[in-house]
Amino acid sequence: MQSALYVALSAQVALERRLNTVANNLANVSTAGYRADEVKFATVLSKVGNDAVAYSSSGETYISRRPGLINKTDNPLDVAIQGDAWFAMGTPNGIAYTKDGRMQMTEAGELQTVSGYSVLDAGGAAILLDPQGPAPTIGRDGSITQGNNQLGSLGLFRIAEGSQLTRYDNSGVMSSIQPQLVQDFTSIGVQQGYSEGANVNPVLEMTKMITISRTFDSAASTISETESSLLSAIRALGPTA
C-alpha cells in the first residue's frame, strides 16, 4: 500500500519537471533559433519485500536538435542553415553555437549576432565587412562578398550526436565535444534572406501541458486515496485496550 504512495509521488516529481520544460518551450516559441527542451524518463526498480516496485525517475533534460521553421525575411544579413550545422559565436565564456542566423553589422564593420556576440569564421576569428560598402552577398558555402571583394566566410560547424549540449542564453548552446568544421556543402549550406525560428510546436506543447496537468491530478488523487486507506487500516488494526 505504501508503495503506491511512493510511486505516485515519484510520478508527480517527474511531471513537475516535464511541466517546467513545456512552459519554458512555450515562453520561447517566438525566439529565433531556439532549441526546445525535452525530458527523458526512466524506470527505477526498487525491491520491496518479494515484489519489484517501479518508480518514475525525475527525468533527464536534453536539448532537442530537430529543425525549426525557415522564415523568409529578405534581410541580406539574415541567413538560415540548411542541414545539420551551427553558426559559431564568440562569447565571454568561449565559443557557443547557434541556429539563429540574424546578424547585424557594427559601425566598425564587425559582423555580430543580434545579441552582440561576434560571428566567427571557419578559423574562429571575427568577420569584418566594409560598413560603407554595398549590401553583402552570402553564398551557400557561407562566403561573404561585397561588390567584387570576398571579405570572409561564415563558419559552419557540425556537432556530434553524442555531444552533451548546455544552453547559452536563449538560442545558443555549448558542446561537450569539439564541433567539426563543415567542408562539404552538398547537403549543408546557408540561405541568405531567411532565418530559422524555434523548433517548438505551440499546439503540441499546449497538448502536452493539458495531458501533464490531468496526469498530475490523477497522481494526486491516488496519493489521497492511498492516505485514506492507510488511515482506515491504522484505525481498524490499531492496538485495543
Cell, residue 181 = 568544421
Per-residue pLDDT reduced to its tens digit, 73-85: 999 999 999 999 9
* DSSP per residue, 64-80: ------EEE---TTBEE
Closest CA to 87 of 52, 112, 56, 61: 112
Query: What interhelical angle do 2-27 and 202-237 show, nearest 10?
Result: 160
For the chain, first and last CA: distance in Å?
26
pLDDT number for residue 73:
96
Cell, residue 4 = 503506491
Per-residue pLDDT reduced to its tens digit, 127-153: 999 999 999 999 999 999 998 899 999
- 171 CB burial (10 A radius; 0-12, 13-18, 19+): buried
Positions in the chain whose pLDDT score sits under 70: 1-13, 41-59, 216-241
pTM of the entire predicted model = 0.78
pLDDT number for residue 223:
63
